[in-house]
Amino acid sequence: MKVKVISRSADEFTRERSKDLQKVFHNFDPSLRPQEKAVEYVRAVNAAKLDKIFARPFVGAMEGHIDAVSSMAKNPNRLKGIFSGSMDGDIRLWDIASRRTVCQFPGHQGAVRGLTVSTDGQVLVSCGTDCTVRLWNVPKATGSESNGSSENSSKPLAVYVWKNAFWGVDHQWDGELFATAGAQLDVWNHNRSNPINSFEWGSDTVNSVRFNPGEPNLLATSGSDRSITLYDLRMSTPTRKIIMRTKTNAISWNPMEPMNFTAANEDCNCYSYDARKLQEAKCVHKDHVSAVMDIDYSPTGREFVTGSYDRTVRIFKYNGGHSREIYHTKRMQRVFCVKFSCDATYVLSGSDDTNLRLWKANASEQLGVVLPRERRKHEYHEAVKNRYKHLPEVKRIDRHRHLPKAVYKASVLRRTMNDAERRKEERRKAHSAPGTSTSEPLRKRRIIAEME
Amino acid sequence: MSEEQKDTPPTDTQPGMSKELDAKVKKYLRGDGINLEVVKDKKLKGQLAVREELYGKSASVAANAEKWLLPSEGGYLEAEGIEKTWKIRQEAITQDVGISSQKNQFDIVLQDLGPYTIDFTPSGRYMAAAGRKGHLALLDMNSLNLIREMQVRETVRDICFLHNEMFFAAAQKKYPYIYNRDGIELHCLKEHGAVLKMQFLRNHFLLSTINKLGQLHYQDVTTGLMVNNYRTGMGRTDVMQVNPYNGVVALGHSGGTVTMWKPTHTSPLIKMLCHHGPVSALAFHPNGHLMATAGTERRIKLWDLRKFDVVQTLHGHASTLEFSQKGLLATSSGSRVEILGNFSNPNKYKRYMSHSMAKGYRIKKVLFRPYEDVLGIGHSMGWSSIIIPGSGEPNFDTWVANPFETAKQRREKEVRSLLDKLPPETIMLNPSKIGTVRPFSKKEKPSKKERESEMEAAIADVKDAPMKKKTKGRSKPSKVANKKQEGIVRAKRPFLDEQMKEEEAIAKKKQKLAEEAELPKSLQRFARKQAT
């Protein structure tokens, strides 16, 4: 007969010396692990709860301005700095790590409405209600950020005075031109004191302007005639315009899908459009309860952050109808500008209460150096939570956010109003002859007209 | 131009080996994939396709790991020539195996302390033995050391390890007690009463017991909360097993029924009539689909739990039944142990090995030692251990059960398993239902034939019932006939009522549809009011 029996020698399965690692053996057979789905479900519930325990998104506030923060700009070449301009003309460069002012740029007489940095990161362009465009030299990174105590102030490189107040400015992502929004759209070169080109469609002011990240000659503006206009610098006239029911406060292009842009509107929604097909919005992002003031995309192109007049900052998925995260503080008043940091980890908000606030983009993320084991643990928690996130217990824990009472009440009110509107619409349809009344989707309903 | 070096293991060229790999991959896939054709939503289809691909990849990686990376191989026993495996005796095996395996064969003789029951920890390293006259012992099987032994001076009917070797529970005369590894009595569980059998549900940390009065108790040993207790209503029984696949507790009763219980339900989930006489033993296969029951009418039946159907019936007595990790079935009666195996045909169990002990030894419990090819036997003269090649799982997973655990690893494992403790609501007959969508179930109406047959059965009952003969002229034939008619009408009435209700509902529906077709939508609400 042939016989063999399981025999294990202890030295094969235990470590030799105490400084060796313990030996680990794997057998992935599912029969050794009964009820693995139930175990995964319990882990998903625990992961959701842990997420909530570690969700501390507020990192810090940067104080220094003495009036509301009206605009911000990020330097595409440097991660640690942010420029902010306030309503009294004060422009500061902040070091985000130490949350201190590195450099001040005094000079503007009125509110600073727009800030932008040139492609190489050397020149800061600012414009304001005092009808001037000022160009400044950005101080070098070495040395100046380490000694945070000394605050330098620099003199402007150039001051260009023009005929009317400016509302916004943006620089090409890859070029030498920048555009300002005022009574009309002006395109400037750094060296010329007059704009090299001017576009106008209609007689209303242009509120904001944004260059396309992919196509250097394409830009989008929003005007106070509730329109969004697309321009191509190579042509002499603007290309396309859509008029909506309410004014758009800000626009941001998706850096990963440069044909899409999202517009932050006064009617508390954000509308994502495909620039080639402007008849209807791609997606409507609804969650704010008051006008959305500013919007910025994450460099991954998968999320964007919005700041609104209702004192909250929300983060949306690029194709999601509702926000994934909301940030609010008692001390933060109306949010006028938001920026997503260039490494997609932080979100900055500038608000009415003269502070810039730094938040984490993922509220329960562990910052700093993450060991490989920790990283795997976080990834596992994320994956197991996503697998069971449709189950009621996990969903309830994951979705729960505390809202300020005003926002909660306002959202309840909006919901009842919307429900009433919808019910009336349904009854109108039911009581009219079949086929006469057609319902338009919300993506189309808010657009009045499209023009070429 | 150099080609990239790929780090994949060499692919098999032999078709036989790839078939084997396919079977393994199937095991790791844990079921069939979804049919992507019926999914209309493109976005969902794309996401599901990506996910299915990932599952396939991970299953093939696991199959390859199983093929090439596992450290140990399983045991086997093959007879040569005209030899039969069940005729091979333990002494013959001893000569052919190594010295380290020979120490697994032993007999411990303790004749005055009563029949012994035994229990192993899930890693197979520690064993607890309890003699009926009160002898409790805790042993380390790797070094065959006696860790602790004590005499509780009371009848001990059962012994059971809790989640690791630090705690064990002993079912003593009046109540079960929980002891530490050092023999310190930690708890006296008064609510359980005089317990006959105990089982520990590992993932849920529940201690389930059945006592003399036929009451089933579930207690959470981490918080001490008594989750639930039920009166089984079927009398005293000491046949109890937990199904490791889904955590359901099965009891075998003296009427031949086997009932299955879960802690959140007052009545049994399943009640099946298995034997003509009392059920003497019960065992579950680790894959959860096979159940073996033995009755006193000399039958051993193997049931498929998915269809609740008999797969195989064997002849023979069995006072205990136990499945091994690899699916071998050990039965014992008197002083003889028989091992049945299903090597050639997965549906048929045939004799594999047998072992008879000295006359006069009455075997109380057989239990396979996890991750070893060893069968532990508790009998009236102590306990023994014999070698059964091919019964244990050769490769253990360190994170599931580690026979070479250090104290630090044991502590870490305890904390992790407590974090993963399942709530009692997760015990269900089909544990893979968690996370699935409950299908929309329509109430099943009995078909027309069924209803008619029911009606006829009711009428026949009434017709055949004998009429009482009354005296003094009160049982005239006409009166008797009238009474009989009345009885028949009464029996028919509920069926006729149901029929009438259904017909009314159909008529109403028809009317509704007709009206809806005639009137414009805004007037329909008025039409419905007019009808009633």
CB B293 within 8 A of CB B258: yes
Q: How far is B27 from chain A (nearest CA, A)?
A: 8
Task: Report the pLDDT value the prediction gives residue B524, as an integer from 0 to 100.
Answer: 72
Q: Tell me, what DSSP letter sits at residue B384?
A: E
Phi, psi of A398 (to 5 degrees): -70, -35
How large is the average pLDDT for residues A258-280? Answer: 94
Chain A to chain B Cβ contacts (< 8 Å): 146
Measuring CA to CA, how many Å separate B357 from each of A3, B237, B373, B383, B385?
22, 27, 19, 11, 11
- Yes or no, beta carbons of B435 and A14 under 8 Å apart: no
pLDDT at A353 > cutoff 60:
yes
Inform me whether the C-beta atom of residue B180 falls under 8 Å from chain A C-beta atoms.
no
Of A3, A27, A41, the CB nearest to B397: A27
CATH entry, A59-360, from 2.130.10.10, 3.40.50.300, 1.20.1250.20, 3.90.550.10: 2.130.10.10
Q: Is the pLDDT of residue A334 over 80?
A: yes
Start-end ranges of CATH 2.130.10.10 in chain B? Answer: 104-426
Q: What is the pLDDT of residues B469-496, one digit of tens each?
A: 888 888 888 998 999 999 989 888 888 8
Does residue A159 contact residue A150 with C-beta atoms inside 8 Å? no
For tokens 């325990």, the residue is: A53
Give dist(CA A310, CA A414) in Å, integer: 13
Write the CA distances from A359 to A254, B424, B438, integer angstroms.
Answer: 21, 40, 41
Angle between helices B15-29 and B42-69 (to 10 degrees): 120
- B334 interfaces chain A, CB cutoff of 8 Å: no
Confirm or reject contact between B435 and chain A (CB < 8 A). Answer: yes
pLDDT at A399 over 60: yes
Q: What are phi and psi of B38, to 5 degrees?
A: -80, -10
- Give how far Cα B506 sits from Cα of A140, A395, B377, B482, B509, Å: 86, 42, 67, 35, 5
Which residues of chain B fall below pLDDT 70?
1-16, 443-446, 515-517, 527-532
Among A90-99, A442-451, B115-124, B266-275, the least confident range:
A442-451
CA-nearest of B355, B369, B345, B282 to B318 is B282
CA–CA separation, B168 and B182 (whole Å):
10
Q: Do A282 and A265 contact (CB within 8 A), yes or no?
A: no
User: What burial class does residue B203 get, using C-beta atoms within 10 Å of its C-beta: 0-12 exposed, 13-18 middle, 19+ buried?
Assistant: buried
Q: What digits encode the pLDDT tens for the residues B154-205?
A: 999 999 999 999 999 999 999 999 999 999 999 999 999 999 999 999 999 9
pLDDT at res. B6: 45
Q: What pLDDT was estimated at residue A364?
A: 94
**Nearest residue in chain A measured CA to CA from B103:** A7
CA separation for the pair B337, B360 (Å, rounded)? 14
- B383 vs B362: CA distance, rounded Å: 11
Q: Is the dihedral of CA A376, A377, A379, A383 positive or negative?
A: positive
Q: Which of B58, B64, B72, B323 to mutate to test the interface with A (most CBs of A within 10 A)?
A: B72
**Whether B308 contacts chain A with CB within 8 A:** no
Q: What is the pLDDT of residue B15?
A: 63
Dihedral sign of CA atoms B187, B192, B195, B199 in order: negative
Residue with tokens 């809790």, as numbered in its chain: B162
More confident residue, B31 or A69: A69
Of the candidates A24, A31, A39, which has its C-beta nearest B422's C-beta? A39
Q: Decide if B27 and A30 are in contact by the 8 Å CB cutoff.
A: yes
HEC profile of A188-232: EECCCCCCCEEECCCCCCEEEEEECCCCCCEEEEEECCCEEEEEE
Overall average pLDDT of the A387-400 stretch: 94
Give me the residue label for tokens 């419905």. Answer: B528
- B35: exposed, middle or buried (C-beta count within 10 Å: 0-12, 13-18, 19+)? exposed
What's the CA dihedral at B119, B123, B126, B131 to 10 degrees? Answer: 0
Shortest distance between the Cα of A32 and any Cα of chain B, in A, equals 8
Burial class (CB within 10 angstroms; exposed 0-12, middle 13-18, buried 19+) of A128: buried
- Inter-chain CB proximity B431 and A37 less than 8 Å: yes
Q: How many CB atoms lie within 10 A of CB B518?
A: 10
* Contact (CB<8Å) A1/B79: yes
pLDDT of residue A150: 53
**What is the residue whose two structure tokens read 């003495």?**
A66
What fold characterizes domain B104-426? Methylamine Dehydrogenase; Chain H (2.130.10)
Helix (H, G, I), strand (E, B) or coil at B511: helix
Instruction: Search chain B and give the residue with CA nearest A1.
Output: B79
Spell out where A8-88 has E strands: 58-62, 69-74, 81-86
Instruction: Please count the other Cβ atoms lying within 10 Å of the Cβ belonging to residue A198.
Output: 11
Position B44: which residue type?
A: L
Q: Nearest 5 degrees, angle CA A382-CA A407-CA A327? A: 40
Closest residue to A6, CB basis, from B75, B431, B434:
B75
How far away is chain B from the Cα of A432, in angstroms, using its nearest Cα?
A: 9
Using a CB–CB cutoff of 8 Å, tell me whether B532 touches chain A.
no
Q: Which residue has the tokens 């920026």?
A: A339
Tokens describing residue B47: 């996401």
Question: Quick one: pLDDT at residue B532?
Answer: 46
The whole-model pTM stands at 0.85
Give the pLDDT band (50/70/90) at residue A142: low
pLDDT tens figures, A214-241: 999 999 999 999 999 999 999 888 899 9
Question: Which are the contacts of A262, defined by CB distance < 8 A and separation ≥ 6?
Answer: A251, A252, A254, A270, A271, A272, A273, A285, A295, A297, A304, A318
Residues with Cβ < 8 Å from A114, sequence gap 6 or more?
A: A71, A85, A125, A126, A127, A128, A166, A167, A168, A169, A170, A180, A181
Within B259-406, where are the H helices? Answer: none
- At A217, phi and psi to the nearest 5? -100, 0
Sheet holding A123-128, edge to edge: A112-117, A123-128, A132-137, A156-161
In chain A, residues with a C-beta closer than 8 Å to the C-beta of B423 are 42
Q: Give the C-alpha separation, A39 to A387, whole Å.
A: 13
Helix B477-518 / helix B524-531 crossing angle, nearest 10 deg? 160
Length of chain B: 532
Residue B409 φ/ψ, nearest 5 degrees: -65, -35
DSSP track, B198-218: EEEETTTTEEEEEETTSEEEE
Environment class of residue B127 by beta-carbon count within 10 Å: exposed (0-12), middle (13-18) or buried (19+)?
buried
Q: Which of B105, B408, B420, B525 to mutate to test the interface with A (most CBs of A within 10 A)?
A: B420
Where b means 16+ CB within 10 Å and e means fewer, A143-179 reads ebbeeeeeeeebebeeebebeebbbbbbbbbeeebbb
pLDDT for position B516: 63
Q: What is the 3-state secondary structure (H, E, C) of B269-298?
A: CEEEECCCCCEEEEEECCCCCEEEEEECCC
